[in-house]
Amino acid sequence: MFDPFLPLPPPHHPVDWVLLRDATRTLMKATERIRKQGLLHRMPQGPLSFLSEMNTLCMAMTARNRTSEGRKHRKAVFRKMKALLRRVEKHARRHLNLLKERGEETDLGTGAIRSVIEQVENILAQVPAIIKQAHERIIGGRKLANKDKTLSLYDDDVQVIKRGKTGAEVEFGNNLWIGENRDGFIVDYALEKEKTSDAKQVEASITRLVDEQSLPVASVWGDRGLHSQANEEFLQSKGIYSGLCPRDVKVLSERLNDDPSLRTGLKRRAGTEARISIVVSKFMGTPARAKGFEHRDMMVGWAVLSHNLWKLARLKQAEEPVDIPQAA
């Protein structure tokens, strides 16, 4: 049974002006850390005061959403946010230079100094892009292609994924491919760094199971997103029964009438949704926290292993007889 799903959204919906707040927060907290080490550059106010000022502007941004002057108000607030971030950028850059020049005078170790430098440089490099992106969307009212958008300051591998579901037309994160057997054990998974078609995952999954692990796969089931003529021909060449739900309603109706086992398999496949919920909420956490694609991929692997061990323990427990005390 196969099913693709999206378990790993970013920390928040990537609204353009929220990225300005995130940049301010990271830069000023890093600046505060540098100043605590005695590396001081002239500032009109404390670093955290800039963060408080940005938070105030964020609240003002949503203050008149449903009024006739809402758009004009948001433009005015955004201009203030942009000017504030420019000031924050200059202060952070000056303190970064101090840390690079005099870092050995502080109590910070070499690793800690390198970590702060990389953190600040990562945000500073993205400030022009996020300001331009927000300007195009808020001031200019122009759309940007997904490939040109900055969705997260901290993770380059987050993707825009169109789901087409009620309340979730678009989501942000990485697709996770999952396959389970009849007993509910997860036998295959793959976290996608780049977006690919669901249908293209079938051949890759069968290759991992049959060719690389020599597992006896007799049949597979999946939803309409996995069905394609190429997949049907591939499964037939491998001698594997295809229970992929046809996209054409007429073809589906004919197959259901001619092949009762297809109906049974598709009903069983519906339980994969529950399996997804168990893996995500119980073994990954809600929300799942892992920065960077490599860490997320590792987290998924541990979650799958933990889930299968838990499932094995439940099956073993179910096989043991239960002693019911008899009434005297």
The pLDDT profile of the chain, 328 residues, written as one tens digit per residue, is: 555 443 444 445 557 888 999 999 999 999 999 999 999 999 999 999 999 999 999 999 888 777 778 888 889 999 999 999 999 999 999 999 999 999 899 998 999 999 999 999 999 999 999 999 999 988 888 888 877 788 888 877 777 666 655 555 566 777 888 888 888 899 898 888 877 788 888 888 899 998 888 888 888 888 888 888 999 999 999 999 988 888 888 888 888 888 888 888 888 777 777 787 788 788 887 767 777 788 888 888 999 999 999 988 888 777 777 666 666 5
Residues in the chain: 328
Q: How far apart are CA 310 and CA 37, in angstroms?
A: 48
The kind and range of the H/E element at 31 are helix 16-36
Q: Check: CB of residue 155 under 8 Å from CB of residue 10.
A: yes
- Strand-pair partners of 179: 2, 188
Domains of the chain: 16-145 (1.20.120), 174-318 (3.30.420)
SS3 172: strand
**pTM, rounded to two decimals:** 0.67
- Strand-pair partners of 191: 176
What φ, ψ does residue 170 adopt, rounded to 5°?
-135, 135
CA angle 323, 324, 327 (to 5 degrees): 140
